[in-house]
Amino acid sequence: MTTNTIIKYLFLFIVGGFSYFYMEILFRGFSHFSMIICGGFAFILCGLIDQVIKYNLSLISQMLISTCIITVLELITGYIVNIRLHLNVWDYSRLPYNFHGQICVAYSFIWLILSFLCITADDLIRWKIFDEEKPKYKLM
């Protein structure tokens, strides 16, 4: 792995992590440092979908895969932070269709919508800052 690659992924991690953290503060009024870590990994992994899967995925397909990635990362983070460490950062147990209070369908739907921003922001950063290929999208 080259120095430029390390810098690129560190930059993407920081952008994604702090975006997630501050978005949560904006809509929820507070956040937790674990959301920086979760958001950083989510941003990188969602951005890698079209880098790893070489056939031209539709934007909707990328968004659906991103939603699954973010939901799984939320589950892992929730398990560590809320269940194992007992920090009680969030609890979705009052919401319908939740899994142990850590993930729920309502928030997965929010991740679907936000994944559009994640995918396009990652592509824009890769194109404008790291001189990668200009993004092209097909809706379906």
Structural tokens at position 129: 């800052």
Residue 138 domain-assigned (yes or no): no
The answer to whether residue 98 is domain-embedded is yes
- Name 82's Cβ contacts closer than 8 Å, sequence gap at least 6: 88, 89, 90, 91, 101, 102
What integer pLDDT is reported at residue 41 of this predicted model? 98
Is residue 139 situated within a structural domain?
no
Amino acid symbol at 51: Q
What mean pLDDT do residues 108-116 have? 95
Per-residue pLDDT band for 95 (boundaries 50, 70, 90) equals very high
- With a cut of 90, say whether residue 56 has pLDDT above it: no
Q: Where are the alpha helices (DSSP H) in the chain?
A: 3-28, 34-52, 59-78, 105-128
Residue 133 counted as domain residue:
no
Which stretch of DSSP H or E encloses residue 95?
none
Assess if residue 20 is contained within a domain: yes
Q: Please give the mean pLDDT across all residues of the chain.
A: 95
Domain range for 60: 3-128
What pLDDT score does 139 carry? 85
Domain total of the chain: 1
